[in-house]
Amino acid sequence: MVRIVSAKVYKKISAVSQTRPAIIHYTLFCCLKLNSKAQKWHLIYNVPMKILLTHFDPFGEEKINASAEVAAALPSTLGDISLDILEVPTVFGTCFAPVEAALQRQNYDAVICLGQAKGRNAITPERVAINIDDARIDDNAGKKPEDEVIAPEGPAAYFSTLPLKNMVEAIKAAGVSAAISNSAGTFVCNHLLYQVLHHCATKAPSTRACFIHLPALPKQVQDTPEIPSFTLEDMAKGLKAAFQSLSPA
């Protein structure tokens, strides 16, 4: 999409681009005489934002995974945003392999990983991933690591690099409960987020990333109604709002 905007509007767009990674713009300067006054105008070209969106397969005793159900309910495009959806196994170590392969094939503006956090009562983007695996249950390959470092050469933790507060406010504005979480746990969700952020920090510094935990779906808690649940429609609506908050279009 190409737009010609005034210098005043361009200044606002430039400020937004510092916090929203979707804007890539090329600027041409020219002087046009309007009402006998020379004004500076800017030609803005917005490149569509490409997001790699991952979700997990069912794990433990669950027959479905809320992250997979919600990902399947999302469209492949949202305005100027293109979503590539990828399932990853709920397995320590190997969960990152398909993500790494996708990042080697394609340059993405962002990687957003979805996971299920049964018991939470809000959509919760994760602030941080820590460099440790410490499982209380087996993963889908029967692995149950205890106090194992994910990347010996990596730092103790990585912070998510997408604007989480903007995303949370967008979800809330869509009428869906949301909050930033300060712990992604020490199961495969944290493992994947750490691996993705480590890869971006060392090999793809222009790609930003975060992880979003989703509550259970109503059909997952029919026998335990005390556990919070969100409808598929509400979670999809909240995520659409979060993703669109990343784009200036």
Q: Give catalytic residues, as residue numbers.
A: 126, 189, 213
Distance CA 128, CA 200 (A): 14
* CA–CA distances in Å: residue 236 to residues 66, 75, 148, 200, 203: 11, 10, 34, 26, 31
Q: For tokens 């987020």, what's the residue?
A: 193
- Residue 238 buriedness (CB in 10 A; 0-12 / 13-18 / 19+): buried
To the nearest 10°, report the CA torsion of 239, 243, 244, 245.
100
DSSP H helix total and E strand total for the chain? 6, 11
Q: Which two tokens stand for residue 211?
A: 């992880």
Distance CA 53, CA 112 (A): 5
